[in-house]
Structure 1
């Protein structure tokens, strides 16, 4: 614990320590956190300080206070299995998690070099750009920037894109995704991503870059998806 002048309050430091232990899996969902007495002795803190840290963990959705029993972990990372091309909404439904779209903007743009190359279109050919923030369990789970080849006229109002994009394209426009290619990398967030996901500059993120293809191998979509590292993980079956 940092007790130097200007250091964060001790309760905030303890809260951050416990959050990190929960996020890295030291304490998993259903595990009980150390008792107040154990934390007081380990970190040489007062009961008031420990109680404030634990109360903050409960309020932020990391833990649950169970009277007469203790405080157990309720936080759990959302886990996505990489098995074929399905939408984020469809994947979350498999985990019985309800999605909400809190930001949605669709527009027709002129592509830059990277987008044009990824969609295999000329720089002079317009494409659609869809930006969305999707929430799960009340927190931003993914910020997605999706570029779509203009093979038909798509509406630019946000309503059609509040749920599954792939389902909307299938049912309303007869556009089917046959295959896809995902690339994953870890990074620190830009200011735009920090704002969208409500995270600080030091929070690691997953970046998933996706190309999808229609029948015959025609590129249709190029997406960049940003996931907060403390709320999301991938599992790959080999």
Structure 2
């Protein structure tokens, strides 16, 4: 129960009780949290106190409000520095989530004018398009769309891409994707998008679900373009940190 004469505010005590129930596994992902009225009566506190506790847990990502349905335990959010090359795998593993990848498409296609410019392609070059769904803890989290020069990266058509793409490039081909200021990669953008039919189906979310849309051109340590990246990430389960 809550201690009235404690230095810790009542709303914080209540938030701690609910948080501990989630981290201990007593409350699991998808479980519905009792209503404000039920919590108010159970712990003999005002609804204002309950609301403050709930808002703190929503802000910290432990629970999520669904309009007209109630408040539920949410999946853990993956926290990642706001840098494109911050390791997706490392960020997930830091949250206790194992990463797996599923290849959806691997094909050769004609480049658009903007692709030729971004990747500095020869006139007779083509694109390799690789689409993967990246899973965290068994659940889809990111839809990854990468575009490479066919002339430079045609080996990707036959390589095992079930693991880290950047580790493969570094370890086997001595190609080192870089986020350094000298790479020329100063135009990575992050926007909010809504899941359309393809994204919704592959990420297993409802159409219209909020997604982060990340677009970038990645260079190597010799200032040569490596790939164009266009990624969709489930907003509910991801947060970026500015360091």
Q: TM-score range by the shorter chain?
A: 0.5 to 0.7
Kindly state the Cα deviation for residue 139 of structure 1 after the two structures are TM-superposed.
Answer: 1.4
Q: Is the 8 A contact 1:143 1:225 kept in 2?
A: yes
1:131-166 Cα distance to aligned partner (Å, 9 max, x none): 000111221100010012232431424x61111000
* Equivalent residue runs for 1:6-17 within 5 Å: none
SS of residue paired to 2:130:
strand
Residue 223 of structure 2 aligns with which residue? 217
TM-score normalized by the length of structure 1 = 0.65
Kindly state the Cα deviation for residue 29 of structure 1 after the two structures are TM-superposed.
Answer: 5.0
Residue 178 of structure 1 aligns with which residue? 178
TM-score normalized by the length of structure 2 = 0.64
Residue 118 of structure 1 aligns with which residue? 118
Kindly state the Cα deviation for residue 118 of structure 1 after the two structures are TM-superposed.
Answer: 2.1
Kindly state the Cα deviation for residue 226 of structure 1 after the two structures are TM-superposed.
Answer: 0.1
Residue 75 of structure 1 aligns with which residue? 75
Kindly state the Cα deviation for residue 94 of structure 1 after the two structures are TM-superposed.
Answer: 3.7
Kindly state the Cα deviation for residue 86 of structure 1 after the two structures are TM-superposed.
Answer: 3.7
Q: Which moved more, 1:168-177 or 1:112-121?
A: 112-121
Q: Distance in 1 between matches of 2:176 and 2:136?
A: 26
RMSD: 3.3
Q: Distance in 2 between matches of 1:185 and 1:93?
A: 25
1:28-54 Cα distance to aligned partner (Å, 9 max, x none): 854673369718x9xxxxxxxxxxxxx
Select 2:241's aligned residue among 227, 235, 238. 235
SS of residue paired to 1:103:
strand
SS of residue paired to 1:175:
coil
Kindly state the Cα deviation for residue 112 of structure 1 after the two structures are TM-superposed.
Answer: 1.9
Residue 154 of structure 1 aligns with which residue? 155
Q: Distance in 2 between matches of 1:95 and 1:36?
A: 29
**Alpha carbons of 1:29 and 1:211: their partners in 2 closer, same or farther (altered >3 Å)?**
farther
Q: Is the 8 A contact 1:104 1:162 kept in 2?
A: no
Q: Distance in 2 between matches of 1:137 and 1:210?
A: 26
Can you give the 5+ residue segments of structure 1 that lack an aligned partner in the other structure?
1-24, 42-61, 64-70
Residue 56 of structure 1 aligns with which residue? none
Q: Is the 8 A contact 1:29 1:72 kept in 2?
A: no
Q: Is the 8 A contact 2:78 2:91 kept in 1?
A: no
Can you give the 5+ residue segments of structure 2 that lack an aligned partner in the other structure?
1-14, 23-32, 42-61, 64-70, 180-184
Residue 12 of structure 2 aligns with which residue? none
Residue 95 of structure 1 aligns with which residue? 95
Select 2:210's aligned residue among 204, 214, 226. 204
